[in-house]
Structure 1
Amino acid sequence: MLVIVLTACPVGLRGDLTRWLLEISPGVFVGSVSARVREGLWSRVLGMVHNGRAIMVYSSNNEQHLAFKTFQPDWQAFDCDGVELIKRPLGTDDATMVPVPESGWSNASKYHAARKYGR
Protein backbone atom coordinates (compact mmCIF):
# COMPACT_ATOMS: atom_id res chain seq x y z
CA MET A 1 0.00 0.00 0.00
CA LEU A 2 1.27 3.45 -0.88
CA VAL A 3 -0.06 6.91 0.05
CA ILE A 4 1.41 10.16 -1.29
CA VAL A 5 0.18 13.53 -0.01
CA LEU A 6 1.12 16.67 -1.95
CA THR A 7 0.69 20.28 -0.85
CA ALA A 8 1.24 23.34 -3.07
CA CYS A 9 2.55 21.30 -5.99
CA PRO A 10 2.30 21.80 -9.75
CA VAL A 11 -0.78 20.43 -11.51
CA GLY A 12 1.47 18.45 -13.87
CA LEU A 13 2.80 16.40 -10.97
CA ARG A 14 -0.71 15.48 -9.89
CA GLY A 15 -1.55 14.41 -13.43
CA ASP A 16 1.66 12.41 -13.64
CA LEU A 17 0.88 10.48 -10.45
CA THR A 18 -2.62 9.55 -11.64
CA ARG A 19 -1.01 7.18 -14.14
CA TRP A 20 -0.11 4.78 -11.31
CA LEU A 21 -2.21 5.87 -8.33
CA LEU A 22 -5.79 6.91 -7.57
CA GLU A 23 -6.40 10.48 -6.43
CA ILE A 24 -9.00 10.05 -3.69
CA SER A 25 -8.91 13.70 -2.61
CA PRO A 26 -7.07 16.73 -4.02
CA GLY A 27 -3.39 16.00 -3.46
CA VAL A 28 -3.91 12.57 -1.85
CA PHE A 29 -2.88 9.55 -3.95
CA VAL A 30 -3.22 5.88 -2.98
CA GLY A 31 -2.32 2.62 -4.66
CA SER A 32 -0.47 -0.65 -4.50
CA VAL A 33 2.77 -0.69 -6.48
CA SER A 34 6.10 -2.53 -6.31
CA ALA A 35 9.09 -1.14 -4.43
CA ARG A 36 10.83 -0.28 -7.69
CA VAL A 37 7.86 1.72 -8.98
CA ARG A 38 7.45 3.36 -5.56
CA GLU A 39 11.06 4.61 -5.59
CA GLY A 40 10.64 5.80 -9.18
CA LEU A 41 7.50 7.72 -8.24
CA TRP A 42 9.25 9.31 -5.26
CA SER A 43 12.15 10.46 -7.43
CA ARG A 44 9.64 12.01 -9.89
CA VAL A 45 7.88 13.74 -7.01
CA LEU A 46 11.17 15.18 -5.73
CA GLY A 47 12.06 16.38 -9.21
CA MET A 48 8.75 18.13 -9.84
CA VAL A 49 7.46 19.37 -6.46
CA HIS A 50 9.74 22.49 -6.37
CA ASN A 51 8.42 24.72 -3.52
CA GLY A 52 5.63 22.38 -2.41
CA ARG A 53 5.63 19.66 0.23
CA ALA A 54 5.34 15.91 -0.19
CA ILE A 55 4.88 12.97 2.17
CA MET A 56 4.98 9.32 1.13
CA VAL A 57 3.76 6.56 3.46
CA TYR A 58 4.21 2.95 2.43
CA SER A 59 3.98 -0.57 3.83
CA SER A 60 7.17 -1.86 5.41
CA ASN A 61 8.38 -4.88 7.36
CA ASN A 62 9.00 -3.19 10.74
CA GLU A 63 7.24 -2.75 14.09
CA GLN A 64 4.82 -0.14 12.77
CA HIS A 65 4.24 -1.96 9.45
CA LEU A 66 4.81 1.35 7.67
CA ALA A 67 7.55 3.78 6.77
CA PHE A 68 7.47 7.30 5.40
CA LYS A 69 9.55 9.83 3.53
CA THR A 70 9.07 13.58 3.60
CA PHE A 71 10.14 16.55 1.49
CA GLN A 72 10.11 20.05 3.02
CA PRO A 73 7.82 19.11 5.90
CA ASP A 74 6.65 21.44 8.64
CA TRP A 75 6.83 18.55 11.08
CA GLN A 76 10.07 16.66 11.76
CA ALA A 77 10.43 12.87 11.84
CA PHE A 78 12.59 11.28 14.53
CA ASP A 79 13.38 7.79 15.75
CA CYS A 80 12.29 6.90 19.29
CA ASP A 81 13.68 3.49 20.28
CA GLY A 82 13.07 2.02 16.85
CA VAL A 83 9.66 3.62 16.32
CA GLU A 84 9.45 6.57 13.93
CA LEU A 85 7.42 9.46 15.29
CA ILE A 86 6.57 12.95 14.06
CA LYS A 87 7.46 15.99 16.16
CA ARG A 88 5.24 19.01 15.66
CA PRO A 89 7.05 22.37 15.79
CA LEU A 90 5.85 24.99 18.20
CA GLY A 91 3.97 27.78 16.45
CA THR A 92 4.68 31.42 17.18
CA ASP A 93 1.22 32.83 16.55
CA ASP A 94 -1.91 32.03 18.55
CA ALA A 95 -3.72 30.46 15.57
CA THR A 96 -1.34 27.47 15.48
CA MET A 97 -1.11 26.94 19.22
CA VAL A 98 -3.29 24.32 20.89
CA PRO A 99 -5.45 25.86 23.64
CA VAL A 100 -4.62 24.68 27.15
CA PRO A 101 -7.68 23.40 29.01
CA GLU A 102 -8.56 25.03 32.31
CA SER A 103 -7.50 23.13 35.37
CA GLY A 104 -10.08 21.53 37.61
CA TRP A 105 -13.13 19.40 37.00
CA SER A 106 -15.73 19.97 34.32
CA ASN A 107 -19.26 20.97 35.23
CA ALA A 108 -20.57 17.61 34.01
CA SER A 109 -18.21 15.67 36.28
CA LYS A 110 -19.14 17.89 39.26
CA TYR A 111 -22.84 17.28 38.59
CA HIS A 112 -22.25 13.53 38.24
CA ALA A 113 -20.27 13.40 41.50
CA ALA A 114 -22.92 15.44 43.33
CA ARG A 115 -25.66 13.03 42.24
CA LYS A 116 -23.55 9.97 43.05
CA TYR A 117 -22.53 11.04 46.56
CA GLY A 118 -25.75 12.89 47.38
CA ARG A 119 -27.74 9.66 47.60
Structure 2
Amino acid sequence: MIAVVVTRAVPDHLRGYIGRFLTEVVPGVFVGRTSRAVADRIWERTSLAVEDGASAIVLTDASREQGYEIRTAGSEPPNILDVDGLHLVGLVGPLIGREKTEGVKEST
Protein backbone atom coordinates (compact mmCIF):
# COMPACT_ATOMS: atom_id res chain seq x y z
CA MET A 1 0.00 0.00 0.00
CA ILE A 2 1.09 3.56 -0.64
CA ALA A 3 1.00 5.93 2.34
CA VAL A 4 1.29 9.73 2.33
CA VAL A 5 1.60 11.56 5.66
CA VAL A 6 1.42 15.35 5.84
CA THR A 7 2.40 17.07 9.10
CA ARG A 8 2.42 20.66 10.34
CA ALA A 9 4.05 21.91 13.56
CA VAL A 10 4.70 18.46 15.02
CA PRO A 11 7.52 17.49 17.41
CA ASP A 12 10.85 16.55 15.82
CA HIS A 13 10.75 13.07 17.39
CA LEU A 14 7.54 12.37 15.46
CA ARG A 15 9.10 13.41 12.16
CA GLY A 16 12.04 11.13 13.00
CA TYR A 17 9.71 8.23 13.76
CA ILE A 18 7.74 8.62 10.52
CA GLY A 19 11.03 8.99 8.62
CA ARG A 20 12.04 5.49 9.72
CA PHE A 21 9.28 4.05 7.51
CA LEU A 22 8.57 6.69 4.85
CA THR A 23 10.68 9.13 2.80
CA GLU A 24 10.36 12.84 3.64
CA VAL A 25 10.10 14.35 0.14
CA VAL A 26 9.68 17.94 1.37
CA PRO A 27 9.54 19.15 4.98
CA GLY A 28 6.51 17.61 6.64
CA VAL A 29 5.45 15.41 3.70
CA PHE A 30 6.28 11.69 3.87
CA VAL A 31 5.63 9.12 1.13
CA GLY A 32 6.27 5.41 0.86
CA ARG A 33 5.09 1.87 0.37
CA THR A 34 4.27 -0.03 3.54
CA SER A 35 1.99 -2.72 4.94
CA ARG A 36 -1.40 -1.89 6.43
CA ALA A 37 -0.15 -2.86 9.91
CA VAL A 38 2.83 -0.48 9.71
CA ALA A 39 0.64 2.33 8.32
CA ASP A 40 -1.81 1.84 11.19
CA ARG A 41 1.05 1.99 13.75
CA ILE A 42 2.42 5.15 12.12
CA TRP A 43 -1.03 6.73 12.32
CA GLU A 44 -1.62 5.64 15.90
CA ARG A 45 1.63 7.22 17.05
CA THR A 46 1.12 10.31 14.87
CA SER A 47 -2.39 11.01 16.13
CA LEU A 48 -1.24 10.72 19.77
CA ALA A 49 1.84 12.94 19.39
CA VAL A 50 0.44 15.69 17.17
CA GLU A 51 -0.18 18.15 20.10
CA ASP A 52 -0.83 21.68 18.73
CA GLY A 53 0.03 20.83 15.13
CA ALA A 54 -1.91 18.91 12.53
CA SER A 55 -1.46 15.74 10.56
CA ALA A 56 -3.19 13.79 7.82
CA ILE A 57 -2.56 10.40 6.26
CA VAL A 58 -3.79 9.15 2.90
CA LEU A 59 -3.70 5.38 2.34
CA THR A 60 -4.54 3.36 -0.74
CA ASP A 61 -7.71 1.35 -0.22
CA ALA A 62 -9.08 -0.58 -3.18
CA SER A 63 -12.39 -1.19 -1.39
CA ARG A 64 -13.29 2.52 -1.51
CA GLU A 65 -14.76 4.27 -4.55
CA GLN A 66 -11.87 6.76 -4.78
CA GLY A 67 -9.22 4.12 -4.10
CA TYR A 68 -7.90 5.76 -0.92
CA GLU A 69 -8.87 6.69 2.63
CA ILE A 70 -8.09 9.85 4.60
CA ARG A 71 -7.49 10.23 8.34
CA THR A 72 -6.82 13.53 10.11
CA ALA A 73 -5.72 14.61 13.60
CA GLY A 74 -4.68 17.76 15.36
CA SER A 75 -5.99 20.91 16.96
CA GLU A 76 -8.23 21.92 14.04
CA PRO A 77 -8.57 19.03 11.57
CA PRO A 78 -10.77 19.54 8.52
CA ASN A 79 -14.15 17.87 8.49
CA ILE A 80 -13.86 14.75 6.31
CA LEU A 81 -17.29 13.72 5.07
CA ASP A 82 -18.05 10.26 3.74
CA VAL A 83 -20.77 10.62 1.12
CA ASP A 84 -21.68 7.28 -0.43
CA GLY A 85 -18.07 6.12 -0.15
CA LEU A 86 -16.52 9.37 -1.43
CA HIS A 87 -14.31 11.46 0.86
CA LEU A 88 -15.19 15.15 0.74
CA VAL A 89 -13.39 17.83 2.73
CA GLY A 90 -15.70 20.28 4.47
CA LEU A 91 -14.05 23.65 5.04
CA VAL A 92 -15.46 26.19 7.45
CA GLY A 93 -15.01 29.82 6.54
CA PRO A 94 -16.62 32.86 4.95
CA LEU A 95 -18.55 32.34 1.76
CA ILE A 96 -16.59 33.64 -1.21
CA GLY A 97 -18.42 36.35 -3.08
CA ARG A 98 -21.12 36.75 -0.43
CA GLU A 99 -20.55 40.49 -0.17
CA LYS A 100 -21.18 40.81 -3.92
CA THR A 101 -24.58 39.12 -3.75
CA GLU A 102 -26.04 40.82 -0.70
CA GLY A 103 -29.09 42.84 -1.68
CA VAL A 104 -29.36 41.18 -5.08
CA LYS A 105 -32.73 39.60 -5.74
CA GLU A 106 -32.89 36.14 -7.21
CA SER A 107 -34.69 35.87 -10.49
CA THR A 108 -37.95 33.93 -10.42
Show structure 1 runs of 5+ residues with no match: 92-96, 103-119
More strand by share: 2
**Change over 3 Å in CA distance of 1:84–1:12 after alignment to 2:** same
Identity %: 31
Alpha-carbon distance in 1 for matches of 2:88, 2:48 = 26
The alignment partner of 1:37 has SS state of helix
Provide Cα deviations, 1:62-100, integer angstroms capped at 9, x if missing partner. 110000101034421112222111111114xxxxx6457
> What CA distance in whole angstroms lies between the structure 2 residues aligned with 1:86 and 1:7?
18
The AA in structure 1 aligned to 2:72 is: T
Instruction: Compare CA radii of gyration and give the structure with the larger one.
Output: 1
**2:38 & 2:93 partners in 1: Cα distance?**
36
Q: CA deviation at 1:47?
A: 2.3
How many Å separate the matches in 1 of 2:81 and 2:23? 29
The answer as to 2:67 corresponding to 1:78 is: no
The farther-off stretch of 74-83 and 37-46 is 74-83
Per-residue CA distance 1:6-50 (angstroms, 9 max, x = gap): 011011111111111000011000000000000111111122211
Q: 2:65 aligns with which of 47, 59, 63?
A: 63
Greater relative contact order structure (CA < 8 Å, 6+ sep): 2
In 1, the alpha carbon distance for the partners of 2:78 and 2:22 equals 25
Distance 1:71 1:29 in 2: 16
Aligned position for 1:12:
13
Distance 1:23 1:78, change over 3 A: same
> Unaligned regions of 5+ residues in structure 2, if any?
101-108
Question: 1:2 offset after TM fit, Å?
Answer: 0.3
TM-score (norm 2): 0.80
**Contact between 1:74 and 1:89, CA under 8 Å: does it hold in 2?**
no
Structure 2 counterpart of 1:6, one-letter code: T
